[in-house]
Structure 1
Amino acid sequence: MLRLLYFSFVLLLSLTLSAQTTVTGTVTDGSETLIGVSIQAVGTTTGTVTDFDGTYTLTVPAGTDSLIYSYTGFQTQRVAIAGRTVIDITLAESTELLEEVVVIGYGVQQKDDLTGAVSVVESSELTDIPTQSLGQSLQGKVSGLQIIPGSGAPGADAIFRIRGVGTLNNADPLFVVDGMILSDISFLNPQDVQSISVLKDASATAIYGARGANGVIIVSTKQGGGAAGAGGFTVSAYTGTQEVIRTIDVLNANQYATLLNEVDVNEGRQPRFANPEQYGEGTNWQDEVFRTAPIYNAQLSFNGGGDRGTFNFSANYFRQDGIIEGSNFDRFTIRLNNSRQVKNWLNVGSNLSLGINGSDNVNAGSIITTAYRADPITVPIDSAGNFGDATAIGNTGNPLATIFYSNNRSQSYRAVGNAYADISFLDHFTFRTNFGLDFDYNRNRNFSPVFFVSANQQNEESSINVFNGYNRNWLWENTVSYNNNFGIHHLDGVAGVTYQDNFGEFLNGGRQRLIGDDPSFFYLNSGDVTTATNGGGAGSNWGLVSYLGRLNYTFDSRYLITVSGRLDGSSRFGDNYKYGFFPSVGLGWNISREDFFNADGIISRLKLRASWGQTGNDRIGDFDYLPRVVSGVGAVFGNDPVLVPGSTLTTLANPDLRWEETTQTDIGVELGLFDNKFLLEADFYRKVTNDILFNAPIPDYIGANAPLRNVASVLNRGVDLNVSWRETRSDFQYSIGGNASFVHNEVLKLDGTAVDFFNGGLGIGGQLGTNSRVGFAAGSFYGYELDGVFQNEEELATFPKFGNQQVGDLRFRDQNGDGVITAAEDRVILGSAIPDMILGVNGSANYRGIELSFDLTGQFGNEVINAKKMARFGAYNYETSFLDRWNGEGTSNSEPRITQAGQNIETLSTRFVEDGSYLRLRNVTLGYRFASGVTEKLRAQSLRIYVSGTNLVTSQKYSGYNPEIYNGSVFDNGIDRGSIYPIARTLTAGIDVTF
């Protein structure tokens, strides 16, 4: 195989028949030169930007017949080269960005020629949010893309969902960074990003085959450019503070003591507090745990180039202290991108990112839960300086002691990069070979000292535990692209073969009874050798080989067709289904380019799109089609009984394990009004995922766990909507826009032996809170519907009961009217964590250097299970809603009498399901860009200062910290157990200066 590839490479070199062309020129707006104009060779990834004097130099591949010039706020122009080496261009102002060059899978394409649903976000829209997470920067920017801040912890990444949840497994999209295919983009510095393309329908994602079902996000980082010897040096920095947005209303000490006395009476005990009023307000543990914390960011970047090459270098330091002490994150990243025109027919380049992350990992989940539950009577620290014993009353422990005695540090080192070569041959062909590597090394060290707070909160022996692991992922892609115009016909395409391999392993160990508490002793050999433990094993281990192709045809810029497909072979699937083929077709009609269209009317642009295709999802474990066997078990055999070691089968094999397959149909319309000042883009889609993989239950008599099987189908259908208005009036420019996504999620089919798939543990006796059943959303909340409170003995005797209920307890609805309450017949769907609508609104204005921008985000139609109100294994504090309890006939018909256990608290019902809708002012930024007269005195090209506020105001009905609850699984989302790190309100001030 390698020999064949070698000879193919030599053959391609020998076919190089024509030299490339170097084009230079100047770009102006008619009066002044324009800095940073993007120039792209049509049909290739070769491009540059204008320098500080508006000039550019670009060596274009042989066979390229035209260049595209694009600049924000100006009309995009496509200009024929026609043998010229000097091309000067004057751009006209425009409010439309419709003809911008869009990065798609394995190439670029003019937006006007797209047949797929692709949304683009530029770098200028990403940097106002003070975060290290590119995902959180994207929230509210793209229709059809839901961004969930999985946690407010420092360094936490975001969760991406494109057009709903179409699987019962991992629903993350595929990420592509500068051509490197990855499973996450947590390593990226948002300030290094040039643009992001979100591929949503099958016409756009089918070229990624078995990994395209959840959508694809393509990230392009900043490249160099400019005339020979030119370069730009930029310094950007901001600093600010963070604080918790809201706290949960819980009882003060007086209220707590009063209600505990009621609990004692209701449960047949003597009241424990003689005088509750004496405790007053007591301790608010949330105030003790949360703090105001700083955040910092500094970036240095330098870019430039000449007629034979370009480069871009950046270095960034980010530091975020958590709003909980002991939870901190810092990251240092370096990026170097460069390209070099080695020969007229050969262009080489590379993109490299190096990152070092460090974090202090206090057990924030436990601390948040404890601060919510801890009794308000106990003091945090007594007069002698000792931690208060919070186990004496509420049996929770002291969260401040947990913080003080925590010493858990993690570090990771990650290198992500690729090197490529573009070889032009014949007149219109380009061969590209691209090799990428992602190497991630992680280590963790956790030290626990000897301490005593109480009998239930202590550690008698010190211990140290260490973990080291790495993951290596390489990708080799070889593609041939073709691009040519035949009069009014345009044809371009790409075909190729790719290989990807992933492997990881880990090693861990631990010891107890260290010789000291100083950090110099935080090593395994400092502990007692007799207490040593160790472990290790393989991490991920999979491989993929793929064959791909796409063909685009355009007739007179009016009629468009795209056909694409990919054949994938994966090590993750059974012997009978190693390979899967995923095709798509897309059609487009630029109606506004027809002769009959009145371009001078209100409607200035109109385009229709339609697509159909199939994609797959391979996000499962490795080798799940093989049987699972556990060793170390034994049996006694023989006349003279002897224990014989052996193994046993625990999980059955499934050689028929195959891809999850998503079939998607999309119809889109693009509309421009009033010379494209107003733009609208709407997509209507239907996406059905079949053969969803799940460990569906099998009969117990088989004696082994169920294998992973293709057992379910899920539907997502909806509408993605984008609208915007842009206008320039003399010195004043403004824009306002919004996006809305409507989605309906429904389980269409389950395995024939199962009616329900239960999951979502609530922490009460193993009770499961979610159910995926036909006709409802995947992972829907499942429980009892409230029918009031038993007000008296007559009602207690009349209405059906569930357990040993008494007057003042909750009454549950008898759904089938049989006079008894049973789990099988009377539980119903109570809601879903999947929102019906996701909203984003944004706006900006600029007047003589004064800049103002804002972002709103929201979601509507989803519910949250407030499970933290349910799980009670001690005399925990109560939320203030418990003050509205039943305390005699007629006092309440929604809140029961106060108890510490029983059906009122332990049974999932509508009492614990709350509205998860919210609307948040995500960001407001006010800045000032100094005039050229000031910057020239400073010998700078540009200077901008700004102040920014993030998560300033949130309107929500949910009583918890944040209604966006993600727990890692469609079965478990939306369940708030009280351990999720709250998001913070952040205020920052910053400066950007370019020399």
Structure 2
Amino acid sequence: MARQAPVTGTVTGAGGTPVNAASVTVKGTSRGTSTNAAGKFTITVAPSDTLVVTAVGFQNLEVPVGTQTDLTVSLAASNRELEQVIVVGYGTQRRRDLTGSVASVSGSELSRQPVLTATQAVQGKVAGVQVISSGDPNALPVIRIRGTGTMLAGANPLYVVDGVISDDIRNINSADITSMDILKDASATAIYGMRAANGVILITTKRGRAGKMVVSYDATLGVKEATKLVNMAGAKQYAGYVNEASVYYGSGDSIVTAATLASGGNTDWYNEILKKGFFQNHNVSVAGGSDKVNYFLSAGYLSDEGIIRTNDFKRLTIRNNNDYKITNNFKISTLLSYSRSTVRNVDLGAFNVAYRAAPYVIAKQNGKYGNTSLSNNVGNPILDQDKNDNSGKGDRFQGNVVGEYKPITWLTLRSSFGVDKNNFRSISYGYKYANVGPDNVFLTSGSNQLRDKSSLTVTESEGNRWVWDNTATAAKRFGDHNLTLLAGITAEDIRTRSIGGSRVDVPQDKDQWYLNAGSTIGARNFNDGDRSTRNSYLSRLNYNYKDKYFLTGTIRADASSRLPANNRWGYFPSVGAGWVLSNEGFMGDQKTFNNLKLRASYGKVGNDGIPSNLFVPLATVNLPYFFNGQEVLNLRLEELADPSLKWEVTREVNVGLDFSLIKNRLSGTVDFYDRKTSDALVRINIPAILGDPNNEYITNAATFTNKGVEVALNWQDRIGSDWRYNLGVNLAYNRNRIEKLNGGQALSSGSVGGQGFTTKSDNGQPIGSFFLWEVEGIFQTEAEVASSAQPGAKPGDLRYRDINKDKVINADDRVYQGSYQPNITYGINGGLSFKALDLSFGGYGTGGGKIYNGKKAARGDFRDNIETSVVNNRWTPGNTNTNVPRANLNELPASTYFLEKGDFFRINNLTVGYTLPRRLLDKFSMQSLRVFATAQNLATFTSYSGFTPEINNGGTLDGGIELAIYPTTRTFAFGVNVGF
């Protein structure tokens, strides 16, 4: 036998990017290993051996060892990644076999960006998937797949992590993810039935492989800052504006005197409440295995201070994934994870207060705070931050135990039991402070911002979910016919519980923050909970003839306790077909396409993302009322309920084309879709005489559509042996439209200050359309005012369009002005490498959406501060060529003056890395070492004047309104990837 010796190597993909978790095995044996994060591996082989290198998304490659001791293996993408294995729900398929619309993002791409959740790292990488992130360290991103799919029910997609259904993946460490597969059309998602109306995101975490132990350590350290702030007026600008408004259009008195200015300061309140926050992320993993046992163990620690003074977030994650081969046909897998998070949240209202606070007031001096409340009736935001502590601590455990048994070669029986247990304890403490006497915290007396008693609220919440899946999969080949049949049953149970209370006069010592340490006077206790269950039957048939003709059919029957018994069951079928034209004889002589495949599908999915008691009338007991002078306790129905509620159902048609050409250097997909949601839940107004105090109830009474097209193109190539590069672009167009709503009864929402509602959802319009007065210009003369529909106006006021020409501006003159939903989303991603140097970049943008500048609109007090642009460009008799009205003392009505374009393009990520050569690594006994520098959210190009055109408020009827938001953050960081 030839002598064996260690051989090292590096596995790279497109653009020279290291391929993590690639499998390297000795051909004809079970001996093997895996690459680390830098693409490095070590394996003991003989010169006569041949290595087989495989990785998801790449063509398999065989490498004879010979006399080589240091290998460089460059993997080519599979033929449009046709051999890539895609997780499709309760199983996997080759990409070439897909008939639905499915997109995949590798774990190595996700882990490269300094973000909390993997979905944030997807931004701009997948056509038709809009990711709206926030600078808040613990915020869950808003995900919209192919537009807004509901009005009142849950609008976010379904997450499935290693088979465990979830609504929140903030506990998942991105470094532990192997792949993320996004199911977009109804044919792909129908296997999840009632949960799939908004798309499905499947996350697969890493597993060990047979071979030598691989130890990896990754670290990222950086600083976060606000990407954009709104410039507010300084003290003199502010005084000039409000005094002008008062002298010429108000009482005639100066609001801010020269003496007041002289005794005050010039405070930039945003500078006072914000900071540069430190960010760090550390991950260590150990992976390996043998013929009988494979293991993967990892630990991660993430710390994000945020950009607000009192903000802080920390997360610890531990994962252990093991596979045990009991016999040749029986395997057990355990996939376990634990996370511990601690957070100090902030009241986002601080941004609203900082926007409004008078700039001449000193923020803080010698331990005392400025009296903003005396100046313009808002509190000092620094005091609010210092005297409130809203903290929380969470523990979450997810686990899945899977057993697979193959009684015969073509049949697999699989049973998995997954649990998700989530506990969270929050403490909200308000410190006592006074405005007079020895406890006075203000620079001057007389502030109306005070708290005469400390307060404490403690809440402990618990969530428990289990999912039990049992499936049987039969896969047989009959000549040119390939057949796979899946059948299964699944059950799910969800329980939530919360308990807590509030007390006053609790000592400020944190060791005494307990309810029993406070006064029982006015004490409040609460205890709440919920339970829902689901039961489902599912089946899927995949047929393939000669790798040219494909057919997929699924059917799922779902029952949910969230719906009444007479409408509890729903049935969700789908069918899809594929035709590989490039495999046909008539395409044999063409030289253009390496692959050309046509897909078409139809499917139906549901949405039960509603409270579990929505169809049950709720009553409140022991409500007091007085009769003949006596107090009597009674019972009252608080809300009317529809006992015949049923599923929201989405039907979707999808036609797609997959292609690759120019020797597979250029590949892409094109998809056209038409989604129609029927029986959507909406709130219907009812006469007050019926007894519901809200004058409304919820029922199935709406229909709306999302229609669009998605295009994705990818190019990869190399120049010589040292240069590699790749470039990908994607573009999606979507049109959202309400087709039938409530018999014509529109839904108003989006309340902004004293303006009332700003959005209206009605037939023929997108969900959440802005409904406003239209500004035609600014009055220049008294004569223009006299001949208008606004006789009470003055020169310099906004002139509104008189829609119905009745010479009166009222509610009848409001018109639709577009929606927050963008028509276009797009992304661009690429990479370039030269020898050991690598560069990658990514960008993302939207077009066609509108943003309502709510903070600017809700100027509720005439003494509120104003933006510098308003001060500098306001109308005056000497500055009439402007679109900014005169200085005013009142809140302006809801109009297009506050509506702006939400279009933007953002450079999402820019990373430069260097991998040390082997000769240096050997000196330190390391397998790999890569150092890198990265910038996240480097620059945003937009005409929007507010904090950010990305509004993460999660609403469907009132989205796109900027009020109290957490600004988008920019991160500059550096890091290392080390392998041993």
Change (3 A) 1:212 1:791: same
- Paired residue for 2:508? 517
- Paired residue for 2:493? 501
Q: How much does 1:893 deviate?
A: 5.6
Written as runs of structure 1 = structure 2, the 5 A alignment for 1:554-633 is: 554-598=544-588, 601-633=591-623
Please say if residues 27 and 34 of structure 1, whose CA atoms lie closer than 8 Å, have aligned partners that are also in contact.
Answer: no
Q: 3-state SS of the aligned residue for 1:142?
A: coil
Please say if residues 725 and 833 of structure 2, whose CA atoms lie closer than 8 Å, have aligned partners that are also in contact.
Answer: yes
Q: 3-state SS of the aligned residue for 2:829?
A: strand
- Paired residue for 2:69? none
Written as runs of structure 1 = structure 2, the 5 A alignment for 1:731-742 is: 731-742=722-733
- Paired residue for 2:698? 708
- Paired residue for 1:13? none
Q: Deviations over 1:367-398 (max 9, x none)?
A: 2111111111111123x431111122122221
- Paired residue for 1:480? 472
- Paired residue for 1:117? 101
- Please say if 1:942 is aligned against 2:928: yes
- Paired residue for 1:6? none
Greater CA drift, 469-478 or 264-273: 264-273
Match of 1:535 among 520, 523, 526: 526
**Normalization by structure 2: what TM-score?**
0.91
Please say if residues 56 and 85 of structure 2, whose CA atoms lie closer than 8 Å, have aligned partners that are also in contact.
Answer: no
- Please say if 1:788 is aligned against 2:777: yes
Q: 3-state SS of the aligned residue for 1:805?
A: coil
Match of 2:178 among 185, 194, 197: 194
- Please say if 1:379 is aligned against 2:362: yes
Query: For 1:879 and 1:156, how far apart are their aligned partners in 2?
Result: 28
- Paired residue for 1:443? 425
Match of 1:646 among 604, 616, 634: 634
Greater CA drift, 773-782 or 400-409: 400-409
Please tell me the root mean square deviation across aligned C-alpha atoms, in Å. 2.6
Q: Deviations over 1:871-912 (max 9, x none)?
A: 1232111012322222228714632221121xxx33111100
Query: For 1:601 and 1:792, how far apart are their aligned partners in 2?
Result: 71
Change (3 A) 1:557 1:246: same
Give the AA of the match of 1:173: P
Query: For 1:346 and 1:115, how far apart are their aligned partners in 2?
Result: 31
Query: For 2:333 and 2:725, how far apart are their aligned partners in 1?
Result: 38
Greater CA drift, 27-36 or 488-497: 27-36
**Normalization by structure 1: what TM-score?**
0.89
Give the AA of the match of 1:850: L
Q: 3-state SS of the aligned residue for 1:184?
A: coil
Q: How much does 1:280 deviate?
A: 10
- Paired residue for 1:3? none
Q: How much does 1:458 deviate?
A: 1.5
Q: How much does 1:423 deviate?
A: 1.0
Q: How much does 1:806 deviate?
A: 3.1
Query: For 1:77 and 1:683, how far apart are their aligned partners in 2?
Result: 32
Change (3 A) 1:104 1:805: same
Query: For 1:422 and 1:434, how far apart are their aligned partners in 2?
Result: 9
Written as runs of structure 1 = structure 2, the 5 A alignment for 1:205-284 is: 205-227=189-211, 230-265=212-247, 266-275=249-258, 282-284=266-268
Please say if residues 20 and 108 of structure 2, whose CA atoms lie closer than 8 Å, have aligned partners that are also in contact.
Answer: no
Please say if residues 12 and 19 of structure 2, whose CA atoms lie closer than 8 Å, have aligned partners that are also in contact.
Answer: no
Query: For 2:426 and 2:56, how far apart are their aligned partners in 1?
Result: 45
Q: Deviations over 1:553-597 (max 9, x none)?
A: 000000000000100000011222110000000000111112232
Please say if residues 9 and 42 of structure 2, whose CA atoms lie closer than 8 Å, have aligned partners that are also in contact.
Answer: no
Q: How much does 1:641 deviate?
A: 7.8
- Please say if 1:395 is aligned against 2:377: yes
Match of 1:455 among 447, 458, 461: 447
Q: How much does 1:346 deviate?
A: 1.1
Please say if residues 793 and 807 of structure 1, whose CA atoms lie closer than 8 Å, have aligned partners that are also in contact.
Answer: yes
Please say if residues 259 and 898 of structure 1, whose CA atoms lie closer than 8 Å, have aligned partners that are also in contact.
Answer: yes
Query: For 2:606 and 2:822, how far apart are their aligned partners in 1?
Result: 24
Query: For 2:879 and 2:912, how far apart are their aligned partners in 1?
Result: 54
Q: 3-state SS of the aligned residue for 1:231?
A: strand
Match of 1:108 among 92, 96, 108: 92
Q: Deviations over 1:735-776 (max 9, x none)?
A: 011111111111111111x431111111215x1111111111
Q: 3-state SS of the aligned residue for 2:361?
A: coil
Please say if residues 116 and 609 of structure 1, whose CA atoms lie closer than 8 Å, have aligned partners that are also in contact.
Answer: yes
Query: For 1:223 and 1:612, how far apart are their aligned partners in 2?
Result: 35
Query: For 2:630 and 2:925, how far apart are their aligned partners in 1?
Result: 88
- Please say if 1:37 is aligned against 2:37: no
Change (3 A) 1:770 1:449: same
Please say if residues 822 and 849 of structure 2, whose CA atoms lie closer than 8 Å, have aligned partners that are also in contact.
Answer: yes
- Please say if 1:871 is aligned against 2:843: no
- Paired residue for 2:739? 748
Q: How much does 1:362 deviate?
A: 2.9
Q: How much does 1:93 deviate?
A: 4.0
- Paired residue for 2:70? none
Please say if residues 133 and 156 of structure 1, whose CA atoms lie closer than 8 Å, have aligned partners that are also in contact.
Answer: no
Query: For 1:941 and 1:746, how far apart are their aligned partners in 2?
Result: 56
Query: For 1:448 and 1:547, how far apart are their aligned partners in 2?
Result: 51
Please say if residues 12 and 75 of structure 2, whose CA atoms lie closer than 8 Å, have aligned partners that are also in contact.
Answer: no
Query: For 2:164 and 2:24, how far apart are their aligned partners in 1?
Result: 23
Change (3 A) 1:512 1:586: same
Q: How much does 1:644 deviate?
A: 4.2
Please say if residues 231 and 867 of structure 2, whose CA atoms lie closer than 8 Å, have aligned partners that are also in contact.
Answer: yes
Please say if residues 42 and 927 of structure 2, whose CA atoms lie closer than 8 Å, have aligned partners that are also in contact.
Answer: no
- Paired residue for 1:885? 874
Please say if residues 222 and 972 of structure 2, whose CA atoms lie closer than 8 Å, have aligned partners that are also in contact.
Answer: yes
Match of 2:943 among 946, 957, 966: 957
Query: For 2:488 and 2:59, how far apart are their aligned partners in 1?
Result: 34
The percentage of counterpart residues that share the same residue type is 35
Q: 3-state SS of the aligned residue for 1:971?
A: coil
Q: How much does 1:635 deviate?
A: 5.7
Query: For 2:269 and 2:237, how far apart are their aligned partners in 1?
Result: 15
Q: Deviations over 1:289-347 (max 9, x none)?
A: 22111111111100111101211000001001121111000000100111101122211
Change (3 A) 1:954 1:551: same
- Please say if 1:837 is aligned against 2:828: no
Query: For 1:31 and 1:509, how far apart are their aligned partners in 2?
Result: 57
Q: How much does 1:820 deviate?
A: 1.9
Please say if residues 582 and 595 of structure 2, whose CA atoms lie closer than 8 Å, have aligned partners that are also in contact.
Answer: yes
- Paired residue for 1:974? 960
- Paired residue for 2:848? 861
Q: 3-state SS of the aligned residue for 2:742?
A: coil
- Paired residue for 1:916? 902
Q: 3-state SS of the aligned residue for 2:287?
A: strand
- Please say if 1:929 is aligned against 2:915: yes
- Please say if 1:659 is aligned against 2:643: no
Q: How much does 1:486 deviate?
A: 1.3
Query: For 2:907 and 2:823, how far apart are their aligned partners in 1?
Result: 20
**Structure 1: gaps spanning 5 or more residues:** 1-25, 41-45, 57-67, 79-89
Query: For 1:574 and 1:92, how far apart are their aligned partners in 2?
Result: 54
Query: For 1:990 and 1:449, how far apart are their aligned partners in 2?
Result: 40
Written as runs of structure 1 = structure 2, the 5 A alignment for 1:806-825 is: 806-823=794-811, 825=812
- Please say if 1:165 is aligned against 2:148: yes
Query: For 2:835 and 2:139, how far apart are their aligned partners in 1?
Result: 38
Paired positions, count? 927
Give the AA of the match of 2:936: T
- Paired residue for 1:546? 536
Query: For 1:54 and 1:740, how far apart are their aligned partners in 2?
Result: 43
Greater CA drift, 649-658 or 662-671: 649-658
- Paired residue for 2:456? 464
Please say if residues 648 and 677 of structure 2, whose CA atoms lie closer than 8 Å, have aligned partners that are also in contact.
Answer: yes
Query: For 2:8 and 2:575, how far apart are their aligned partners in 1?
Result: 38
- Please say if 1:317 is aligned against 2:301: yes
- Please say if 1:154 is aligned against 2:137: yes
Q: 3-state SS of the aligned residue for 1:233?
A: strand
- Please say if 1:686 is aligned against 2:678: no
Query: For 1:446 and 1:460, how far apart are their aligned partners in 2?
Result: 17
Please say if residues 254 and 278 of structure 1, whose CA atoms lie closer than 8 Å, have aligned partners that are also in contact.
Answer: no
Q: 3-state SS of the aligned residue for 1:393?
A: helix
- Paired residue for 2:438? none
